Amino acid sequence: MIHTGLSGKVVVVTGAASGIGRATALRFLTSGCIVYGWDIAAGGPEGVLMRQVNVADPESVNAAAAELETVDVLVNNAGILRDGQLVRVKEGQVSLLSDEAFNAVIDVNLKGVFHCARAIVPKMIAAGKGGVILNASSVVGLYGNFGQTNYIASKAGVIGMTKVWARELGRYGIRVNAVGPAYVETEMTRRNIAAGNVNEEQIKRRIPLGRLAQPGDVAGAVSFLLSEDAAFITGHSLYVDGGWLAYGYF
């Protein structure tokens, strides 16, 4: 479905080279948008104007933003995992979650969202046409998840920043929302399953719809929240979870 009010919009999607970001960027292309993809990886979907950007590095973000005259929509999608228990004891050996693993996730998933919004919002305000920001959170930002101290901290932080920015930026006609998927079938999820960190069958049993989300499922929710069909929605987190939260937190 192509939602109204998107044709001709200038859109920035972070993490656009693969997974949810790629599906989101392609969805905007079919809606007639001019789409810029920011990703640390080279390459990306055909038709998307890709630039190598490290969202964890404010100088990299600022340089990419400086190339754009105006931006109507910002999708803060880029994210990483570095799973590990806070303290793990196995066969008498104690291991701790490292500073490197904690900081890497916070730098991309939380500070990256901050860096991109800080660089783009002044352009939206100066243009005087309003704008929309969509931040990638997760259902685990609400209830926590075993072995994901760093990831949960980042995604809960994104939910909080979304609410604050909705309050601060509404006066400029800028809407700010978040989308919170459950498990999505991406390369990152597949690596976690292959490494034994995630049990796919257990996850499917916990999701009432009985499957992992596809990137397009999330992209559809994103395009709705960024369209005029959602013109009076701001400060909201939409959970694309197949009923995960209806099952209960535990």
For 40-170, list the strands marked E by DSSP: 49-52, 73-76, 87-90, 93-96, 131-136
98 within domain boundaries: yes
**36 has catalytic annotation:** no
- Residue 167: the pLDDT is 98
125 within domain boundaries: yes
- Residue 3: the pLDDT is 61
Cα separation, 152 vs 106, whole angstroms: 10
Domain containing 231 equals: 10-247
> Of 136, 137, 133, which is closest to residue 74 (Cα–Cα)?
133
Q: What CATH number corresponds to the domain at position 162?
A: 3.40.50.720
Cα 213–chain centre separation: 14
1 within domain boundaries: no
2 within domain boundaries: no
Residues of the chain with pLDDT under 50: 250
Of 151, 183, 247, 249, catalytic:
151
5 within domain boundaries: no
102 within domain boundaries: yes
- Residue 249: the pLDDT is 54
pTM of the full structure:
0.92
Cα separation, 78 vs 101, whole angstroms: 16
Tens of pLDDT along 89-111? Answer: 999 999 999 999 999 999 999 99
- Residue 240: the pLDDT is 94
Cα separation, 95 vs 195, whole angstroms: 18
Cα separation, 131 vs 249, whole angstroms: 34
237 within domain boundaries: yes
Tally of domains within the chain? 1
4 within domain boundaries: no
Tens of pLDDT along 201-212? Answer: 888 888 899 999
